Structure 1
Amino acid sequence: MTDIHPTAIIEDGAVIGDGCRIGPYCVIGPKVQLAADVVLESHVALAGRTSIGTGTRIFPFASIGHQPQDLKYSGEDTRLEIGENNQIREHVTMNPGTVGGGGVTKIGNNGLFMMGAHVGHDCLVGDHAILANNATLAGHVELADHVIMGGLSAVRQWSRIGTGAIVGGMTGVEFDVIPFGSVIGDRARLAGLNLVGLKRKGFPREQIHALRAAYRAMFEGEEGTLLERAERCAAEADDQSLVRVVTDFILEKENRRFCTPRDGD
């Protein structure tokens, strides 16, 4: 049965799924939709055209779906879509999309958004994302699946973070981060591969060894540009799926800049 505390305010039009638990002093706007078994602990503010998937749990003082922090926003009916089984901790903020960015911000499934994390307008966040305390995504950021953002890290607008990448604490990301990459520094530099994450996910040893060799060829080689080296690695990858994930990411879009190792790393 749905359990709604008497102090909660639920505006007409809001949809509350079966088994939801709405704690004290929560405020739910008229266009919000909660799937089954969503839990709002207390003092949660949900606004806008926001949908939240089954089993997601939101902790006190989170502000979800309020208007984008974009001066061009003029009240357009844009959306925030949050998937299933996410944990959204205290003081997290998530904004809907804007017309200029496609009109929707999307959050995948099984994510952990720790205290004070921020997801800006028009972001696309994959499954199993972890944003540690006060990690910040500016507008239009793309986070693939299984990305980890360290505490107090930040990603500049329009940047992409590839699958399985890890961003160190207090790191500012200005350019794209390759899949399975590890970046650190006040301005992010590529410090290698997220080998711990690769091993934890059970990828075969030979695939990891092939990826390490391709990484050296692309980022430690001296012949040609990064794109040219990535093209050579892609042509030689055969059935090396991890290598192809990285080369496809690099070659997918034109005129992108990437976090790379600094001289001496």
Structure 2
Amino acid sequence: MNIRHILFLVWILMSLNASVWGGQADLPEMLQRIKPAVVAVGTVMPTRNPRAVFLGTGFAVADGRQIVTNAHVVGNSLDAAHLEQFAVFFRRDGHEHMLTAELKAIDPEHDLAILYLQDGKLPALEIGDSGKVREGELFAFTGYPIGMVLGLYPVTHRSIISAISPNAIPVIASRQLNVKMIKKLATPYEVFQLDATAYPGNSGSPLYNIETGKVVGIINKVFVQGSKENALSNPSGISYAIPSEHINHLLK
């Protein structure tokens, strides 16, 4: 083996190493772009104690006034008689902020919703092409895993795409079927299965490319073993995300 062959092999090894660890090296810089766009989603009511209630996570897109989250996060009716409103919460420059919002669009089938900020706007994230996502690729998601218990400090997890599978899998026994499951089996669509541990508060967190920051999905559920309480005490380590193509459809 001559020197040219040796140098060529060294170059290949260095390239492989960069491709494996490059995403990890890029993440700290990328978070500076991602975190300002991620918010806690909830409601605020003047006569309630506490005034603010946390429901999930969301992130700004488009013009910075549109907040994408899950339909199940904002699915409950507001108490209009007591002036309850949707709101987003975030921390900037060491201070906590709140902006009220109204529900602009909702897609229960794909568990998506869009809130519109009544005043102000946030740095927006770009929606990527979820059709190009492949199993085994590394991504990250940022959100509020257990609400505002930890304060308004968004938490980031890394995850590979463990599988791209239908959103509804046939059950073993007919007694496990219900109307919601039958509807999903009739019109299935693909979702991303992740190997990271997400929690109920992560609902609405953006799943994004570590190198480009483009959003390829939105966290919408966690595989729970046994009771819902186990999601915190004994997490399964299996989470799911809705592909971003459905976000684009709703935005249009």
Give the TM interval when normalised to the shorter protein.
Answer: under 0.3
TM-score, L = length of structure 1 = 0.21
Q: Which has the higher contact order (CA 8 A, sep 6+)?
A: 2
The structure that is helix-richer by fraction is 2
The structure that is strand-richer by fraction is 2
TM-score, L = length of structure 2 = 0.22
